[in-house]
Amino acid sequence: MAESLLAILLVTSSAKGPALVYRWPPSPVCSPRLCRARPVDGSWPSQLDNPWRASHTPEALKEQTTNRDEPPFVDDPEHRWQRPIITVRIRSPSVSTGTSPHSPPDRTFSPPPPEPTFSDEYDQLFGYQVDFLAGLLLPHRSMCHQKFELVVDDLAFIGHPVCVDKNGKWTFTLEKSENGTRGRDSKGSPSPLQEESEASSLTELQSEDGWLQFFHLVFVLDLPDPSSSASGNLSKYFDTIYEQVAFTVTAVLFQEQVTNNFVEEECDKLGALRDLSLSEGEPFTGFANKGLQASSIASAMKSLFEAIKTSRIVQLTINDFPLELQLPPHLDALLHNEDEAEMDYLNAPEEEDSSGWGPEMSFGWRLPTLTPWKSLLLLDEPKGGESGDPYLDLKGLLLNPEDRGVAEGLVKFLETVAITLSLADVASLLDWDLEAQVYPIVRWLVYHRRAKIVDTIHPGLKTAFTVPPRFDAPLSDLTAEFAKDFNHPAIPPLPRILSTISSSMSKQTENHFYACFVQSKELIPTFHDVVIWMLKHDLLITLHLRIRIVATPDLKLRVQLQREKILARKKARLRGRGRKGSRSHEDDLDPQGLGLTTFPHPGLPWLSLSPKKPNNRLPSADSSRSGISELVIREDEEEFYVDDDYGDYGNGLIEGSETDMNDVNDSSWEGDSERHSPSIISDPARATPLQRRWLSAMSEGKDPYIAKRFEQINQYFDGSRSDDEILYRAEISRKQLREVLHHYEEYLQTFLHPS
């Protein structure tokens, strides 16, 4: 917004016609535009074809230029894009430009405009007569009380015009539009007029008769340069400005006009002051500065403009009505496609609860996902009880009995939160509900820019960092400020810290902050302040451990041999049964405990339970879900059903689905070429039957409690989960995670990556 906002205008209308009552700044300045000039020689098409030029000799190029029959090329001013001349020249449809009606006027060779006088400053704005511009910005009555968006040349006008009702009264009236709002806002949502009425308790009031019939607070924006390669999402850009600033301020002004006739009185003051300044020959700048003292609307327009240009939060008071406004800090990124796509759309989390910030903090904020394993960094912590500290004001709320409970909880939260504690830890210490109590405070603090979400830092500073690709401020300024705040002899200069952090990633071990700088437990508190300072200035990016599971060739071979061994044993038992021939039902049980039973019905073999288990029953289609494993082996066109003795494969096979039990033929296994190369199990939580056999085989020979923990947490080893997320979701300690990583080191691929 700082790069596009040009001015804020207050336009009114009465029986005398439209008028531009006030504007800030007094003399808006548009940003310069770039031009692309065409080559001036007669062979300009060849200048655009580099391959053609490369395939011809200089003599051929010269001959091509001199032998052209067409007239030499003349630089066409229509090719150049230029903004309208911002001078005191009056634009009028009756002015002849001397050009064709389908081409813009030739401003390149026009004579210079005359020097402006003090009266012209009152009458001209952006090259337009102010009366003409005011009439342009006041639409028909039927188009009031809704979003206004007008684009003229390289300027955009955004606002929410309001007017009196059909009886000429300023009243709150509830209108229900069948089609909603016009344009791209017509999505079945309530119209802005309905929201204005609801904000005013739907109470119908009316002011005394006066001259004011319309008023419109207009935000003038500079459109992106059309010669730029990134046009950005202008529609979303305009919508954000309208919803969060233009409509809000207009709704308050409308309410005060209806209840107190406030806007009309303020316009009377500014109009009388303007006439006096014009009669005394005072420049427009003098009138604008005097208007700041005479009108609260004028001072509010100035404060709002300066806050937007500096990306700050503004606190306004309109007729004793407090109002706090801000635009998203990274709203200008919507004007550039690459930033918008990267930060706002492609950064959407995969969780169903979205990012956790709500729609009002979705675009232009660039906030990380609000998750329990993140931490909160306070940006303006109290320092020794200094006066004017914002947190001391919160304690003052304790004097109000109505706000005592809220204020006490907020102060307690601020005293508890730390970058070494996750939000889940804070909720546990305070015995608060994470979703209902902690998250709302976090959103409030972040929205008011008193805190920011960061990754949880290890209490011993054993956290790996890297540096961002660019800094928000010059390194020289940051270095001077760092040296002013830290003069401990053990703390190196800021450039050396950044250099060491940047090169630490080349180390395989001892690459965390403690090993690089602290190296002593006594210095942890000192360097803890250094880390906080660097996080506040966005000089550190936390790196998290990510884990993937790799099935090695040796593991694949071992699982394959186990499978072949089991199949061979099963086939041998079946062949031995076939040689015995048919027997009576009483002699049908295998003396070795295979549990094979045949029935009189031909071609219908059945699987019985082990004779050691009571309550034998016939298997059903849901036998796999009831703990019974079923294996079908086809041999000589005959089916045999055998009970499960696949204990060699572990729980992954015993508790598998019917597909797992039947998946024993060669087609379900990898080819010969794939058996001799490692494979990454990309999603262990949704592993295939073969991948589950690999995971089970990895635990062979491991301690039972380590194998059980690996089975519990390997679903998170997909490369996208950070170590903090794994610890939270699996409810284990960092030490327990290190134990698993140590015992399964040969099957794990670990790497560091930003959050």
H or E, element range at 704 = helix 704-713
Q: For 413-437, what is each residue's pLDDT tens digit?
A: 999 999 999 999 999 999 999 999 9
Does 292 lie in the same domain as 175? Answer: yes
Q: For 245-291, what is each residue's pLDDT tens digit?
A: 999 999 999 999 999 999 999 999 999 999 999 888 889 899 999 99
Say how many domains are in the chain. 5
Overall average pLDDT of the 570-590 stretch: 64
Does 434 lie in the same domain as 475? Answer: no
Does 571 lie in the same domain as 534? Answer: no
- What's the confidence (pLDDT) of residue 4? 85
Report the mean per-residue pLDDT for the chain: 74
Of 646, 668, 690, which marks where a domain is finished? 668
**Torsion over CA of 724, 730, 736 and 742, rounded to 10 degrees?**
-80
Record the tokens describing residue 388, joined without a space.
Answer: 């004017």
Residue 500 lies in a domain: yes
Q: Is 16 helix (H, G, I), strand (E, B) or coil?
A: coil
pLDDT band at 529 (very low <50, low <70, confident <90, very high): very high
Residue 345 lies in a domain: no
Q: Is the pLDDT of residue 297 over 80?
A: yes
Residue 650 lies in a domain: yes
Q: Is the pLDDT higher at 508 or at 341? A: 508
Overall average pLDDT of the 451-464 stretch: 93
Residue 702 lies in a domain: yes
Does 311 lie in the same domain as 438? Answer: no
Q: Packing angle between helix 553-579 and helix 689-698, nearest 10 degrees? A: 110
Does 415 lie in the same domain as 299? Answer: no
Which of 589-598, 677-686, 730-739 has the lowest average pLDDT?
589-598
Q: Is the pLDDT of residue 306 over 80?
A: yes
Overall average pLDDT of the 505-518 stretch: 85
Q: For 698-710, what is each residue's pLDDT tens digit?
A: 999 999 999 999 9
Does 448 lie in the same domain as 469? Answer: no
Q: Domain of 493? A: 465-539
Does 16 lie in the same domain as 164? Answer: yes
240 burial via Cβ count (<10 Å: 0-12, 13-18, 19+):
buried
Q: For 121-172, what is each residue's pLDDT tens digit?
A: 888 888 888 989 999 999 988 899 999 999 988 889 999 999 998 888 899 8
Does 305 lie in the same domain as 239? Answer: yes
Does 293 lie in the same domain as 149? Answer: yes
End-to-end distance of the chain based on CA atoms, in angstroms? 28
Record the tokens describing residue 349, joined without a space.
Answer: 């989390």
Q: Is the pLDDT higher at 396 or at 107? A: 396
Of 539, 567, 595, which marks where a domain is finished? 539
Residue 116 lies in a domain: no
Residue 578 lies in a domain: yes
- What's the confidence (pLDDT) of residue 375? 96
- What's the confidence (pLDDT) of residue 331? 83
- What's the confidence (pLDDT) of residue 236? 84
- What's the confidence (pLDDT) of residue 119? 64
Residue 192 lies in a domain: yes
Q: Is the pLDDT of residue 645 over 70?
A: no
C-beta of residue 416 within 8 angstroms of C-beta of residue 430: yes
- What's the confidence (pLDDT) of residue 620? 41
Does 259 lie in the same domain as 132? Answer: yes
Of 283, 300, 319, which marks where a domain is finished? 319
Residue 331 lies in a domain: no
Q: Is the pLDDT of residue 340 over 80?
A: no
C-beta of residue 40 within 8 angstroms of C-beta of residue 77: no
Q: Is the pLDDT of residue 373 over 70?
A: yes
pLDDT band at 596 (very low <50, low <70, confident <90, very high): very low
Q: Is the pLDDT of residue 667 over 80?
A: no
Does 563 lie in the same domain as 420? Answer: no
Burial 348-381 (b: 16+ CB within 10 A, else e): eeeeeeebbbeeebebbbebbbbbbbbbbbbeee
Overall average pLDDT of the 464-489 stretch: 92
Q: For 18-48, what is each residue's pLDDT tens digit?
A: 999 999 999 887 776 655 444 444 455 545 5
Record the tokens describing residue 527, joined without a space.
Answer: 């360097």
Q: Is the pLDDT higher at 381 or at 290? A: 290
Q: Is the pLDDT of residue 344 over 70?
A: no
Residue 328 CB coordination number (10 Å): 22
Does 161 lie in the same domain as 186? Answer: yes
Pairwise CA distance, residues 106 & 722, whole Å = 61
Q: Is the pLDDT of residue 488 over 50?
A: yes
Q: Is the pLDDT higher at 233 or at 746? A: 746
Q: How far is CA 385 from CA 390, 394, 497, in A?
A: 10, 13, 31
Cis peptide preceding 25, ω within 30 of 0? yes
- What's the confidence (pLDDT) of residue 744? 95
